[in-house]
Amino acid sequence: MPEKGMRKCIFAAAAAVAVLLSDIGGTAVYAGENVPYETYNYDYYEDIKYTPAAYVPDGTVTGDVIGCGNFSSPQDLNTDADGNVYIADTGNNRIVVTDSDFQLKTVIEGFLNDGKEDNFSSPNGVYISENGYLYVADTGNYRVVELDKNGNLIQIIENPQSDILGENYVFSPLKVAVDYADRIYVIAQNQFEGIMAFDAEGNFTGFTGTINVQITTAEIIWRKLSTKAQRAKQQLFIPTEFTGMEIDSDGFVYATNVDAEGEQSQSVRRLNPSGEDVIQKGAAGVSGDILWRLTGDYSGASRIIDVVVREKGIYSVIDSTRGRIFTYDHEGNLLYIFGGIGSQEGTFDTPTAIDTIGDEIIVLDGSKNLVDKYRATNYGFLINQAVGLRYDGDEASAVECWKQVLKLDSNFELAYVGIGKSYLAAGENKKAMECFKTGNNRQYYSIAYKRYRNEILKENLTGYLTAALVLIILLVLWNKIGKKKWKERRASHV
């Protein structure tokens, strides 16, 4: 870890942050509602700023409520364009399908394979493609299963063969995702080379998004200071670099990974078809909490385990260490944080997956065996709307939303930047400078300053040219007349 990151981790986390982030069970109040977690953000100087809640709990859903019997260690969920929810009920060896209101549609425990009944075994991952085909990471059977809309078997991907995999390689898929071209991506257990990629026919084509893992000093210290209980809980995380993924409408793979560097730099990647990471990172990075403590409950860096891609370039990730949900815009700016570990409704024990139904966020808890639902508050809605307008290039319309956000949270720096961009586009450079200064955006402040400087020069150019012309005339007169007279006077005195 760089020296800067180490100082933050040891000094800040050992003091103020230990208090600020340890009150997991505390209850905040938003608009008269009890919220079982603190909500905050980070400013330019990476200090914590408490905020209104962007999302609040909106109930829970169990298997019993759905009508399929209780879940058992569910590990993944995915939604389709119609809001239908597909849940990998891992311990019960089945896929539970509901509509957007969590009304039971069907339970898939198996399929016909060459005329014989074939069942799932510990399915850890589930994904629904754009054409409505269901993909299941059937972990216990060491395969990926593809079914059509009617539950008929399309293909089984198992035992991939390649020189780069080795003779004794055991294919144990954990998560699966599919892009618009039916290319299949798989996160596999004990596979450190990256995400496995397959073509539409199930042929292994190589790895994508390979990350070089390094164990840093902070990680070593954290592990040594961890209690037995904490070390035992760490074993719940299967040793793979990647932990979750989703694919956006353009075919980019958003993939989460445990940030092995232990510094808040990057635990989310946006991989293009060539496997290159093209994600934009804000000043604070895209790895959850910037500040954290080394010892005690919920210590250590955030462990980002899943991602959901939302509209207008917004995406949310979930941290299993402290149960926080972090939301970013397409430029990597942190928008809001909510959630926590606890026993109250709206908090988690072991969050395993995150997705959305419209503007509602849903999170699967593998220990509580339920789905938590969250709805946007007015504060969260305004931020989402402003970011969406900004994403579409409509900075002017976004201004009114940003102004409403500032009425609820005067510390929201991105709002000042959004307003400043509108002023900049309108040519009001001085006002833009003031907004960018308040929003601590040096890049755009510099742009506004240069434009303002040029504006001042242009406005006063006539005066400057007139003054320069007068000065030149005076110099010429001095050289031709004044200088001569000065020499004559000097000669007469001599």
What is the DSSP code string of 298-318? T-SS--EEEEEE-GGG-EEEE
| pLDDT score recorded for residue 220 | 59
Phi, psi of 91 (to 5 degrees): -65, -25
| pLDDT score recorded for residue 339 | 96
| pLDDT score recorded for residue 411 | 94
Tens of pLDDT, residue by residue over 283-314, are 777 889 988 887 777 788 889 999 999 999 99
441 with 362, same domain: the answer is: no
475 with 447, same domain: the answer is: no
Token reading at 171: 């294919």
82 with 45, same domain: the answer is: yes
Strands (DSSP E) along 281-369, which ranges?
Answer: 304-309, 315-319, 325-328, 334-338, 351-357, 360-365
pLDDT bucket at 163, cuts 50 / 70 / 90: confident
Token reading at 118: 């074939």
Residue where one domain finishes, among candidates 360, 389, 418: 389
48 with 137, same domain: the answer is: yes
User: Which of 141-155, 225-239, 262-276 shows the lowest mean pLDDT across its residues?
Assistant: 225-239
Contact in structure between 23 and 38 (CB atoms under 8 Å): yes
231 with 332, same domain: the answer is: yes
Give a yes or no: residue 354 inside a domain: yes
User: Which of 17-26, 232-241, 279-288, 362-371 shows the lowest mean pLDDT across its residues?
Assistant: 17-26
pLDDT at 6 over 50: no
- Residues 366-381, mean pLDDT to the nearest whole number: 97
Q: Based on the structure, what is the number of domains in the chain?
A: 3
- Residues 101-127, mean pLDDT to the nearest whole number: 97
275 with 404, same domain: the answer is: no
What number of CA atoms fall less than 13 Å from residue 434's CA on the CB side? 4
Supply the angle between the helices 413-425 and 429-438 in degrees, to the nearest 10: 170
405 with 347, same domain: the answer is: no
Give a yes or no: residue 124 inside a domain: yes
Residues 231 and 387: their CA atoms lie apart, in Å, by 40
Tens of pLDDT, residue by residue over 80-110, are 999 999 999 999 999 999 999 999 999 999 9
Give a yes or no: residue 378 inside a domain: no
268 with 416, same domain: the answer is: no
User: Would strands 351-357 and 334-338 be described as parallel, antiparallel, or unpaired?
Assistant: unpaired
Characterise 103 by phi-psi region: left (phi > 0), alpha (psi -120 to 50), beta (else): beta
User: What is the dihedral sign for C-alpha 249, 365, 42, 396?
Assistant: positive
Tens of pLDDT, residue by residue over 433-454, are 999 999 999 999 999 999 988 8
Tens of pLDDT, residue by residue over 230-241, are 655 554 444 447
pLDDT at 355 over 90: yes
Residue where one domain finishes, among candidates 332, 357, 389: 389
Query: DSSP 3-state assignment of 244?
Result: strand
329 with 413, same domain: the answer is: no
Contact in structure between 187 and 159 (CB atoms under 8 Å): no
Residues 76 and 170: their CA atoms lie apart, in Å, by 22
- β-bridge partners, 108: 95
Give a yes or no: residue 39 inside a domain: yes
> Comparing C-alpha atoms, which of 283, 313, 323, 308 is closest to residue 439?
283
Characterise 93 by phi-psi region: left (phi > 0), alpha (psi -120 to 50), beta (else): left
Tens of pLDDT, residue by residue over 164-190, are 888 889 999 999 999 999 999 999 998
What number of CA atoms fall less than 13 Å from residue 171's CA on the CB side? 22
Determine which helix (DSSP H) or strand (DSSP E) holds 107, and give its type and residue range: strand 104-108
Q: Give the other-Cβ count within 10 Å of 312's Cβ.
A: 14
Q: Which residue has the tokens 């990350």?
A: 211
> Comparing C-alpha atoms, which of 443, 332, 313 is closest to residue 384?
313
Q: Which domain holds residue 156?
A: 3-373+384-389
**Residues 6 or more apart from 303 whose CB is under 8 A from it?**
237, 243, 258, 259, 267, 319, 320, 321
Contact in structure between 334 and 328 (CB atoms under 8 Å): yes
349 with 435, same domain: the answer is: no
Give a yes or no: residue 306 inside a domain: yes
438 with 478, same domain: the answer is: no
Q: Supply the mean pLDDT for the chain.
A: 85
Q: Which residue has the higher pLDDT, 234 or 247?
A: 247
**Residues 6 or more apart from 136 whose CB is under 8 A from it?**
88, 95, 120, 123, 125, 126, 144, 145, 147, 176
401 with 489, same domain: the answer is: no
**Residues 6 or more apart from 457 whose CB is under 8 A from it?**
464
Contact in structure between 236 and 166 (CB atoms under 8 Å): no
Residues 147 and 128: their CA atoms lie apart, in Å, by 10
| pLDDT score recorded for residue 292 | 82
Give a yes or no: residue 379 inside a domain: no
pLDDT at 204 over 80: yes
User: What is the dihedral sign for C-alpha 94, 100, 102, 103?
Assistant: negative
Q: Which residue has the higher pLDDT, 217 or 406?
A: 406
- Residues 246-251, mean pLDDT to the nearest whole number: 93
